[in-house]
């Protein structure tokens, strides 16, 4: 599950250890793996503290947020290594260095590759070569030279942005994965696995549609019903996007970005979840 704690945005950081405790005790009812996007506002620190103190059955992909300034990257990198220095590596199953850095044109690929290498080199030097270090981006970026320098191909793959009706979304996902994503990744210099680092469906507003892809709670239910158990049966690692709605992403003309959560900001589940929890 992709997870951004509620109210965990700079400069205010209204999230607390207690609020993260409460949210993770909800989240662990639906998943055993959580993907974080950054380390600001003590997000990683609070998450690992809660997992270990409350004995939650959760593993974590730590995220290092990257924007157009290396000051942000350096802050995230330093906090990550400080946190694992305190809490250890037992709950870490991966490190995502940036999210959609290339798609958003935050930094050129040469700079991103340098960041990935720096993090990987230090992870290895600290005795954990088994922990994959990679970035997460759209399918178009998940090919050489990027995939030659990662341990996994982190792919954000949303049928919604393809403009397909929700009734066709699951089949579109699997067809596109097989016909476009996997062949591109297979051209890498070394074999690497694909992890789906984002997949989901928004619920609002209805006029935020992408052609035939329409945001609504009934459509989210349809996507969950037609995609989720199939994905668990196929065994492909994925991180559903996302746990909570994100009102901080709502801007004039882009309200849909704030309504991808399985839960509302008042922690109400929007849909019924099938009983097919993945290992």
- What are the residue numbers of the active site? 100, 198
Whole-number Å distance between alpha carbons of 237 and 32: 12
Outline where 6-69 has alpha helix (H). 17-27, 43-54
Q: How far is CA 142 from CA 108, 121, 162, 174, in A?
A: 14, 21, 17, 17
Whole-number Å distance between alpha carbons of 62 and 44: 7
The answer to whether residues 81 and 118 touch, using CB atoms and an 8 Å cutoff, is: no
Whole-number Å distance between alpha carbons of 273 and 240: 12
Q: Cα dihedral angle (240, 246, 248, 250), rounded to 10 degrees?
A: 90
- Indicate the SS3 state at residue 8: coil
Whole-number Å distance between alpha carbons of 59 and 51: 9
Chain centroid to CA 222: how far?
21
Please name which of 278, 257, 242, 189 lies closest in space to residue 23, comparing C-alpha atoms: 242
**Torsion over CA: 5, 65, 48, 61 (sign):** positive
Q: How far is CA 173 from CA 52, 154, 159, in A?
A: 35, 15, 6
């Amino acid at each position: 599950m992709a997870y951004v704690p509620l109210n965990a945005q700079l400069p205010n950081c209204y999230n607390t250890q207690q609020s993260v405790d409460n949210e993770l005790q909800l989240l662990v009812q639906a998943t055993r793996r959580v993907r974080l996007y950054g380390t600001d506002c003590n997000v990683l620190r609070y998450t690992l503290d809660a997992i270990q103190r409350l004995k939650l059955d959760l593993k974590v992909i730590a995220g290092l947020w990257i924007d157009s300034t290396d000051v942000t990257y350096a802050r995230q990198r330093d906090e990550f290594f400080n946190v694992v220095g305190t809490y250890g590596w037992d709950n870490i199953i991966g490190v995502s260095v940036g999210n959609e850095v290339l798609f958003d044109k935050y930094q050129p690929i040469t700079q991103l590759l340098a960041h990935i290498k720096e993090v990987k080199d230090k992870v290895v030097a600290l005795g954990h070569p088994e922990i994959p270090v990679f970035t997460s981006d759209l399918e178009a970026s998940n090919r050489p030279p990027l995939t030659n320098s990662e341990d996994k191909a982190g792919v954000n793959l949303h049928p919604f942005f393809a403009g397909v009706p929700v009734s066709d979304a699951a089949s579109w996902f699997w067809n596109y994965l097989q016909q476009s994503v996997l062949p591109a990744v297979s051209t890498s210099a070394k074999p690497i696995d694909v992890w789906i680092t984002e997949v989901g469906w928004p619920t609002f507003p209805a006029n935020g549609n992408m052609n035939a892809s329409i945001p609504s709670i009934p459509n989210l239910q349809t996507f969950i019903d037609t995609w989720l158990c199939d994905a668990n049966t196929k065994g492909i690692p994925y991180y559903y996007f996302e746990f909570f709605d994100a009102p901080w992403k709502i801007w004039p003309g882009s309200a849909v970005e704030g309504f991808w959560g399985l839960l509302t900001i008042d922690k109400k589940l929007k849909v019924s979840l099938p009983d097919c929890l993945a290992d």
